Structure 1
Amino acid sequence: MKKTPTILTLLVVVLAVYWSFRALLPQYNADNTIVETEFSTDRALVHVKEISKEPHAVGFPAHAKVRSYIVAELQKLGLETSIQEGYTAGDWGNLSKAENILARIKGKESGKALLLLSHYDSNPHSSLGASDAGSGVATILEGVRAFLKTNPNSKNDIIILISDAEELGLNGADLFVDEHEWLKDVGLVLNFEARGSGGPSYMLMETNRGNSRLISEFITANPEFPVANSLAYSIYKMLPNDTDLTVFREDADIEGFNFAFIDDHFDYHTANDNYERLDRNTLAHQGSYLMPLL
């Protein structure tokens, strides 16, 4: 028998590797017809572009502009918003004022609420914050918009928390967990984050107990492009930084899911974290998690 030519074998291997990564993500295509009842990556991109025009870390001039923009977008959805203000040292001992943005969708029943979480401040090291975490804020804004079009009367309350001062030490999350009256209503958190500007979004669980129920309910929700592995969380725990979700787990014993992407990590916390560098397929992936989980 003739051996398969080496070059053909190499091409097959390369194709298999390429497809294994491509199949992890939805493929972004510009919307020809924007369906009002579905998550639109293009609509989410409008938010990312607006949020990431300038560096908007705490104390920067654009910080207040971004906050006002997010409040206005939530109000356009018919949601009553509020600002929680306070000073906290956060997890890293950096005393700072935090101004959290809050809204709440009332459900038909009196069970625990689902909390949607991301942060709106950018890193003070010149970052424009398109991925970290403009992408998370945009995912929530567009996801909630689409959800309300098809589910005007949800079963449970949905709390939206766009936290502040995450980059200084998870201060906004710390302020909410320590002082806000809505904390007692929260049953589960969905947090959207980034440590790069592209690649698949990994599903990471944070829990103080067994995680089988979280896994089974995640499977029941049936997101189209699930990406997760046990090694990812082991690596995450070794990193020097946490996310807002960690505050909920450690200080309030509330479980949750992190959805975070980490490719092109050299853009993280730099001026390259901009609108142009954000992978459109990655943003679509975040939306593909949020919609079925809602």
Structure 2
Amino acid sequence: MRSFKPKSHLSSALSFLTIIAIIWYVFYSQTPSAAVEDSLPATEWSTARALEHVKAMSVQPHHVGSAAHDDVRDYVVTQLQAMGLQVTTQKGYTMDPWGNLANPENILARIKGSQDNSKALLLLSHYDSDPHSSKGASDAASGVATILEGVRTFLAQNKQPLNDIIICITDAEELGLNGAELFVNEHPWAQDVAMVLNFEARGSGGPSYMLVETNGGNRKIIEEFSNAGVEYPVANSLAYSIYKMIPNDTDLTVFRKDGDINGLNFAFIGDHYDYHTELDNYERLDRNTLAHQGAYLMPLMNHLSNIDLSDELKVPEGDDYVYFPMPIIKMVSFPFKWLPFLIIGSGLLLVVLIVYGIRKRRISFGQILAGFVPFLGSLIIGYLLSNYGWVGIKSGSFYVDQQHGFSYNGYWLIAAAAMTAATLCFFLYHKYYKKDNVASLSIAPLFILWLVCLLIAFPVGDGGL
């Protein structure tokens, strides 16, 4: 009969709860908690005030050509004029990527800086909704509302910036980035722009991700982003590298391609099934997500409008930083050129630890090789179950496919797949676990992780993360 070991079970339970607590904190710390308060001072960005703009602009679908589209444009113009800004519109004809002629009408305003002939910071979003049933609360009334509330807050502080701040609310983004193309290629203000902050959405919730748009390296952009003191940075160089490989474009892409202008995208993708559907409405917009957009805008607007933008934050291609967020520390970054030395150094350290473990008889080659069985086994079986389980679910008669490939219960499916994979991992390691082989079992995952990092640091062919 197997004896019961209360201390062992208590240790296991505490370890499990600690892991759960860490995971919870990582997600919790990504976005601010949006207490929608109506009584915040005028000099502070308010989620409640931004929500009023979202509600006003998302009453009904407002795609190009609709009566509601004109109403939203007039609303944005009126709000900017109420702040004391001189507002103009830019109207013209552009051709979208499919050869269709569009007649966008952009909304423009400018806050004058104290330094003449300085470069300008541009705040960017679009006011048209998808040409279907979408009310466009997230995409992109949330972006326009973030800018309106941000500009109002900035002006309420009665501080003149060093650089000009241009507000550009584009039109016909959903048709083919037509408003951005019109501004970048035909408006004289485009020549003054050194940096763009673009606010977008591909869902209705979740953290807002920062993605860099640049034709050169990202080093100076990341330095200034860190210097701005953003409280909830959700940004990493892996996402930046992946974004450069995928075909998705925003208005900011036009600034980079046609104007060679750097910028930052801030976009959220949670609840993706709401994207470009009737579910993109005021009620479903996550309040924490909207607060997160404001948490990006205010420190960045204050910082970038008061530094020298004359060099346009440009550095040669390849002059990049590796960067990622960390709780409490906020943002960690270091030159990409350090990565090979870090990888080689960690590899040597791993070898030293293995040799030390063998000499101390805590590690053996046989147990190291055996350790690859539960590790690779859990990866392979987890992949097969998740991948072909999804194929089976999609083929079932109860499943209704979604327009964007992400189902309404997608998060539950991901959670189920993750828990299944974790259960398999625990089960396989439990079968191989012995008191004297813990160190040996740790080598396989450490080696595979190091190998992945090695391939990143020394990529085969072009690219690299």
Aligned to 1:202: 209
For residues 66 and 100 of structure 2, the distance between their equivalents in structure 1, rounded to whole angstroms, comes to: 17
Deviation at residue 72 of structure 1 after TM alignment: 0.3
Q: In the alignment, which of 132, 143, 148 is matched to residue 141 of structure 1? A: 148
Task: Tell me if structure 2 keeps the 8 A contact 1:92–1:168.
Answer: no
Q: Is the 8 A contact 1:194 1:262 kept in 2?
A: yes
Deviation at 1:160? 0.3
The letter of the residue matching 1:81 is V
**2:22 corresponds to which residue?**
16
Larger C-alpha radius of gyration, 1 or 2? 2
d(CA) in 2 for partners of 1:95 and 1:70?
Answer: 25
Distance 2:30 2:82 in 1: 33
Superposed CA offset, 1:67-113 (max 9, x none): 00000000000001111001101344332110000001111112101
CA distance in 1, matches of 2:222, 2:292: 19
1:182 and 2:192 matched: no
Q: Is the 8 A contact 1:90 1:174 kept in 2?
A: no
- Equivalent of 2:39 in 28, 33, 36: 33
Q: What amino acid does structure 2 have at the position aligned with 1:17? A: I
Q: Any idea what SS the aligned residue of 1:108 has?
A: coil
CA distance in 2 between counterparts of 1:231 and 1:91 reads: 29
Structure 1 or 2: more strand by fraction: 1
SS of the aligned residue for 1:155 comes to: coil
Larger relative contact order (CA 8 Å, sep ≥ 6): 1
Supply the AA of the counterpart residue of 2:129: S
Equivalent of 2:266 in 237, 245, 259: 259
In 2, distance between residues paired with 1:32 and 1:268? 28
TM-score of the pair, normalised by structure 1: 0.96
Match of 1:106 among 105, 112, 131: 112
Report what 1:85 is aligned to: 91
3-state secondary structure, aligned to 1:55: coil
User: Which structure shows the bigger proportion of residues in helix conformation?
Assistant: 2
Flag structure 1 segments of 5+ consecutive residues without an equivalent. none
Q: Any conservation in 2 of the 1:91–1:171 contact (CA below 8 Å)?
A: no
Q: Match of 2:71?
A: 65
For the residue of structure 2 that corresponds to 1:167, the secondary structure is: helix
Q: How much does 1:236 deviate? A: 2.8
Q: In the alignment, is the contact (CA less than 8 A) between 2:38 and 2:49 conserved in 1?
A: no
Q: 2:218 aligns with which of 196, 207, 211?
A: 211
Please give the alpha-carbon distance, in whole angstroms, between the structure 2 residues aligned to 1:275 and 1:164: 20
Relative distance call for 1:69 and 1:159 in structure 2 (3 A) is same
Q: Secondary structure at the match of 1:160?
A: strand
Write the deviation string for residues 160-212 of structure 1: whole angstroms up to 9, x where unpaired.
Answer: 00000000000000000111011111111110001111111111111111110
Cα root mean square deviation, aligned: 1.4
In the alignment, is the contact (CA less than 8 A) between 2:128 and 2:136 conserved in 1?
yes
- Per the alignment, do residues 90 and 168 of structure 1 end up closer, same or farther by CA in structure 2, a change over 3 Å counting? same
- Structure 1 residue 53 corresponds to structure 2 residue 56: no
TM-score, with normalisation over the residues of structure 2?
0.61
Report how many residues are paired: 294
Percent identity of equivalent pairs: 64
Q: Which of 241, 248, 257 is matched with 2:255 structurally?
A: 248
The CA distance in 2 between the partners of 1:197 and 1:98, in whole Å, is 25
